[in-house]
Amino acid sequence: MIKVGAAFPDFIKQEKPSHRIKTDFENSSDHSRNIRGYVLLLSLFLLLFLIFIKLLSIQVFRGNYYRNLSDSNRIKTNIVHAPRGTIFDRNGAPLVFNIPGFREKIKDKSIPLTREEALPLIASGKKDLEIDSLRQYPYKEIFSHVLGYTGQISKEELKDSKFSNYHPDDFVGKTGIEKSYEKKLKGVDGKQLIEVDTTGKAIRTLGQTDPISGENVYLTLDVKLQQSAFDAMKDVKKGALIVSTSKGEILALVSKPSFDPNLFTLGDEYKPDSNSTYQNITQVLLDSSDQPLINRAISGQFPPGSTFKIVNAAAGLENKVIDENFKIEDTGILKIGNFSFANWYFTQYGKTEGWINIVDAIKRSNDIFFYKSAEMVGIDKMSFMANKFGLGQKLGIDLTGEEKGLVPTEEWKKETIGEPWYLGDTYHYGIGQGYLLTTPLQINAMTEVISNGGILYEPHLLKNKKPVIKNQNFLSGKTISLIQQGMEESCKEGGVAWPLFEFRVQNSELRIDGRNFLEVNSSSGSADMRKVSIACKTGTAEHGDEKTLPHAWVTIFAPAYNPQVVVTVLAESSGEGSNVAAPIAKKVLENYFSK
């Protein structure tokens, strides 16, 4: 604008200022500012939209999840473990108890704690202790192998379909009846809802689902008979004893060495009796020599010795190779080339027994007779008969760990050892030696067949279980009668089972019938005494080297004409069957028939 002053004439025209034309640079700058404003506004809108969506998700779509998550910090669920079912003997006596206890979770391991162990921890503020009931075995070593024990389920077990509903912290049966009847014994766990504060301290109980106890199990075992059987085996370091009925019911089952199963269930603070073989779990697990966890009654495999002569006799009679009139002369020793096969009587006393028949051979357990009988029958027919008696196979007892033993054949030896079958193998086989292996349970079942008239039953421990017949009608009445006669005479004067001669008990309630229970001359004792007829077969099984003592066997049924019990005893590396096993069986029979 031009300033008006005196030097300028009035006619000079004043002009209004016009707008200045913007350059291209200035236009570009303004456009960029506008775009940034739009972007900022749009970003703010998107941010608010995302916040809205997030809030909508938290409050509406995932509201339950976050409410539950909040509650989980406020509400705690405690598992109330269900007590396992109780195990009873045949007369209703409890064989196991459930006692109050707790579990402490340490990493992936659940540690059982007794009430006394847990109380100090609770008092010190220890959290996360689960309510539980602990398994206590009042009879300790007496029932260890048949009852078994419980323990935390393993990773391998969890992979098994039968444990599909189990949790990693669950305790299950590991051996014995506890394992066999796990499904029956296990209950259904309960739950307890507890409200806690920010420190984890319980404020109140919000609700509870009560646990359901497991089902009780009743066994065929007799606690008093089991006790007497265990006591009778007190001097046996390794061995087994089985008492059954003639139809497969197991009345007592003992395996030595034994152990206290409470070591596995009552925690580290549990102290066994001072006279217990093992004082802690480590000793049990590390004893690789005596292997106490093995149930020798069903898992131990041993040469049966002369008890197998029962099968030899049956094979000879059923194959018509021998009969009641057939006789063999006892020469004391048989020689085949450079090998000699002697009779025990000749080896020990230098005597022979002349001409003997099948009854005499069983009565005197004559090796010469059974060498020749086995030779005439042949290996294949002998093994076929052994299979009929249940040897070389699992009998199906309701306990885990049963072994099937070994019944050899010519083909087996060729495939396994790479050698042909020799006559000497047949001789050894005929008297229960050589490659033949059996379990005490199988010898017991074999004896049951002779006692009950020719039926092989499946052995069982569950009471009121219907008897299961595994085989029958493979022996004639004549065969059974001759073997029974030989076994009865073996337990009489002139037989070999000398501790069982004139077996008698004091029990006036045994009705005298002139066959099973006989009157005892009053001048020789009390009028309450009864003589009990017995049928038995002893066995002395060589194994190892010459310095190793043989396994001692005896298998018995009584009374001879109406059998009530079958008793089989094995004492490993202990001596002769008559000297070692027979006195043990006698104590069991005395306990049984005196009551």
pLDDT(18) > 80: no
* pLDDT at position 278 over 90: yes
Task: Write out the DSSP string of 138-188.
Answer: TTGGGGHHHH--EEEPPHHHHTSGGGTT--TT-EEE-SHHHHHTHHHH--B
Give yes or no for residue 324 having a pLDDT over 50.
yes
Looking at residues 334-340, what average pLDDT do you find? 91
Q: HSE, CB side, 13 Å, CA atoms: give it for residue 254.
A: 35
Distance from chain centroid for Cα 358: 40
Taking the CB of residue 501, how many other CB atoms lie within 10 A of it?
Answer: 13
pLDDT tens digits, one per residue of 77-105: 777 888 999 999 999 999 999 998 887 87
Nearest by Cα to 413 from 394, 432, 395, 426? 426
pLDDT exceeds 70 at position 361: yes
Q: The tokens 């002893």 sit on which residue?
A: 538
Angle at alpha carbon of residue 549, lines to 382 and 242, rounded to 5°? 60
Q: Band of the pLDDT at 471, cuts 50, 70, 90?
A: very high
User: For the chain, which domains are there?
Assistant: 73-218 (3.90.1310.10), 299-594 (3.40.710.10)
- Asked if the model's pLDDT at residue 8 lies above 60, the reply is no
**pLDDT value at 23 more than 70:** no
> What's the predicted TM-score (pTM) here?
0.85
pLDDT tens, residue by residue, 486-545: 999 999 999 999 999 999 999 999 999 999 999 987 665 577 899 999 999 999 999 988
- The answer to which of 263-267, 347-351, 395-399 has the lowest mean pLDDT is 263-267
To the nearest 10 degrees (0 to 180), the angle between helices 477-490 and 440-452 is: 110
Contact 430, 421 (CB under 8 A): no
Using DSSP's 3-state secondary structure scheme, residue 251 falls into strand
What distances in angstroms separate CA 590 from CA 445, 504, 511, one per listed residue? 22, 8, 16
Q: Dump pLDDT digits (tens) for 541-585.
A: 999 888 899 999 999 999 999 999 999 999 999 999 999 999 999
- Please report the pLDDT score of residue 349 as a whole number: 95
pLDDT band per the 50, 70, 90 thresholds, residue 478: very high
β-pairing verdict for 517-519 and 328-330: unpaired
Q: How far, in Å, CA of 154 to CA of 177, rounded?
A: 18
Helix (H, G, I), strand (E, B) or coil at 226: helix
Instruction: Give the residue from 529, 527, 538, 526 showing the smallest Cα distance to 499.
Output: 538
CA distance 382 to 201: 74
Instruction: Give the separation between CA 391 and CA 404, rounded to whole angstroms.
Output: 7
Cα dist from 306 to 107, 118, 297, 550, whole Å = 55, 56, 18, 12
Task: Tell me the β-bridge partners of 537.
Answer: 555
User: Looking at the predicted structure, is the pLDDT value of residue 262 above 80?
Assistant: yes
